[in-house]
């Protein structure tokens, strides 16, 4: 067990966990922030995507010991950000979700994409979103929502 000081959604949080614990489980079980999802545990589905120092990161494979003081943003905090809020609104407007379980991760990946490339092409979308699995396969509306958010952010 070790104690870690985390910066999550702009707040300082202290947790006491085994250093090998993935960030995902620290968020879900220590901080009770369950918007970030467990889907595979091997960074193959993207359901656990959060931003670590602004980079879309699969939190299921990042041991807490490696996070350090990098700021973490999760689905619960991304709405505080203009791009994040716009993407969430576009998702609602396009009625993207079905079961919804993967959508936290989809939105976190989409926000990271739009921050890097404000006007993404289809290829950019496929590359950036390529690791986010949606078993309902809501991909058509995910594409539409990203393009819609990009328009809004112009």
Binding residues for another protein, rule: CB under 8 A, are 1, 17-18, 20-22, 25, 28-29, 32-42, 44-45, 47, 74-76, 79, 88, 91-92, 95-104, 107, 122, 125-126, 129-143
Closer CB to another protein, 35 or 71, in the complex: 35
Phi/psi of residue 73, nearest 5 degrees? -125, 130
Name the minimum Å distance from CB 137 to another protein.
Answer: 3
Q: By three-state DSSP, how is residue 49 classified?
A: strand
Show Cβ contacts of residue 113 under 8 Å, excluding neighbours closer than 6 positions: 56, 120, 124, 125, 128, 129, 146
Name the minimum Å distance from CB 15 to another protein.
Answer: 11
Closer CB to another protein, 76 or 115, in the complex: 76
Tokens representing 64? 């807490």
**Count of other CB atoms within 10 angstroms of residue 115:** 17
Closer CB to another protein, 115 or 141, in the complex: 141
């Amino acid at each position: 067990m070790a104690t870690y000081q985390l910066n999550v959604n702009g707040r300082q949080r202290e947790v006491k966990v085994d250093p090998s614990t993935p960030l995902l489980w620290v968020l879900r079980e220590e901080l009770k922030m369950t918007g970030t999802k467990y889907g595979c545990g091997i960074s193959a589905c993207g359901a656990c995507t959060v931003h670590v120092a602004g980079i879309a990161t699969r939190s299921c494979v990042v041991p807490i010991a490696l996070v350090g003081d990098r700021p973490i943003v999760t689905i619960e905090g991304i709405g505080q950000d203009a791009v994040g809020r716009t993407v969430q609104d576009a998702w609602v407007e396009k009625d993207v979700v079905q079961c919804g379980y993967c959508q936290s991760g989809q939105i976190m990946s989409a926000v990271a994409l739009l921050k890097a490339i404000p006007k993404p092409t289809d290829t950019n979308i496929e590359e950036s979103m390529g690791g986010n699995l949606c078993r309902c396969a809501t991909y058509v509306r995910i594409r539409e929502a990203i393009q819609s958010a990009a328009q809004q952010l112009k």
